[in-house]
Amino acid sequence: MGNGYGSDPDQLKYADGIFIEPKTQILYVADAANNRVQKRYPNGKIKTAAGRPDGAGGSTLDKLTSPSGVFADENENVYVADLHNQRIQFWQKDAKSGKTVAGNGTTGSALNEFNSPIRVLLDSKKNIIVVDLQNQRVTQWSLPYDPTKSVGTLLAGGNGAGLNPYQLNFPVGLYFDEPNNMLYIANDASHSVTQWELGTYGTKSIYAGIPGRPGSSAAQLNSPEGITFDKYGNLYIADINNHSNYPQHLIK
């Protein structure tokens, strides 16, 4: 996968979100400009997991428009952050169309709406967690989805864009440390990573970077996006404008 720029099965156009399913080791790529999600098996076989294989975009249930985030389970079912359709779509293995499981397809700030959902993951209870980019927040959605009643629950942000620990600022990266009930959120526009403890009285703090001060020193970040932890508690940050991966040790 990634055999040049194009729409063939082994090609990509603006690969955005990626996910490796731990048990199957299948690689999933949100191929945003091709309006599809591709999956690559360990043996090298490539298939379309969601969206149209030919890259046709749209808002019907068989199409996606600029998918930006993807999460998959061991049964090859995928959850897709369908960025410009303002929804999260669920596609079963080998399905020809998906179904909406979060968001109502309209752009807005109400808790049943999104404004550019960019990342998606599931917790161990199968709650859907979504980074809602332009609304500067992270929300949680329970299944089953009811298009007339379902709304998200605010987990983080929702206080406008800013540099304070209780605000997010163009959130584009997310890691959920579920055993410790902690979210780590990469804020592209404030050049920082927020540590957000869930719960009414959970603490919020700047974990990495200096908000509002981009740079290349050891204490600074410049447009951080992807984040993940290794098993030793080291945080790795895709520090985009510094062209590096910056490891930050998690102090326990």
Tokens of 41: 């098996």
pLDDT in tens, 134-177: 999 999 999 999 989 999 999 999 999 999 999 999 999 999 99
Domain 15-249 has CATH 1.20.58.340: no
N-to-C CA span, the chain:
38
Which one, of 132, 88, 143, 81, lies nearest residue 110 by Cα? 132
Q: Tell me if 210 sits within 8 A of 220, measured CB to CB.
A: yes
Phi, psi at 38, each rounded to 5°: -105, 150
Q: Domain residues of the chain, as ranges?
A: 15-249
pLDDT confidence of residue 51: 98
Backbone torsion region of residue 226, taken as left when φ is above 0, otherwise alpha when ψ lies between -120 and 50, otherwise beta: beta
Which tokens hold the place of 171? 């959130």
Higher pLDDT, 200 or 149: 149
Confidence of residue 218 (pLDDT cuts 50, 70, 90): confident
Residue 250 near residue 235, CB atoms below 8 Å? yes
| Comparison of pLDDT for 227 and 200, the residue scoring more | 227
Question: Chain-wide mean pLDDT for the chain?
Answer: 94
Q: What is the rounded CA–CA span in Å between residue 169 and residue 191?
A: 9
- pLDDT of the residue at 88: 98
Strand 171-177 to strand 182-187: parallel, antiparallel, or no bridges (unpaired)?
A: antiparallel
Q: Check pLDDT > 80 for residue 248.
A: no
- What does the pLDDT read at residue 220? 94
The residues that bridge with 30 in the sheet, in sequence order, are 37
Residues 6+ apart with CB under 8 A from 143: 101, 126, 127, 128
Res. 251: pLDDT tops 80: no
What pairs with residue 206 in β-bridges? 194
pLDDT of residue 113: 98
In the prediction, which pLDDT does 211 show?
97
Q: What is the pLDDT of residue 201?
A: 76
> For residues 37 and 71, is the Cβ–Cβ distance under 8 A?
no
Strand extents, DSSP E, the chain: 15-20, 27-31, 36-40, 46-51, 67-72, 78-82, 87-91, 99-102, 117-122, 128-132, 137-141, 153-157, 171-177, 182-187, 192-197, 204-209, 224-229, 234-239, 244-249
Q: What is the pLDDT of residues 9-31, one digit of tens each?
A: 999 999 999 999 999 999 999 99
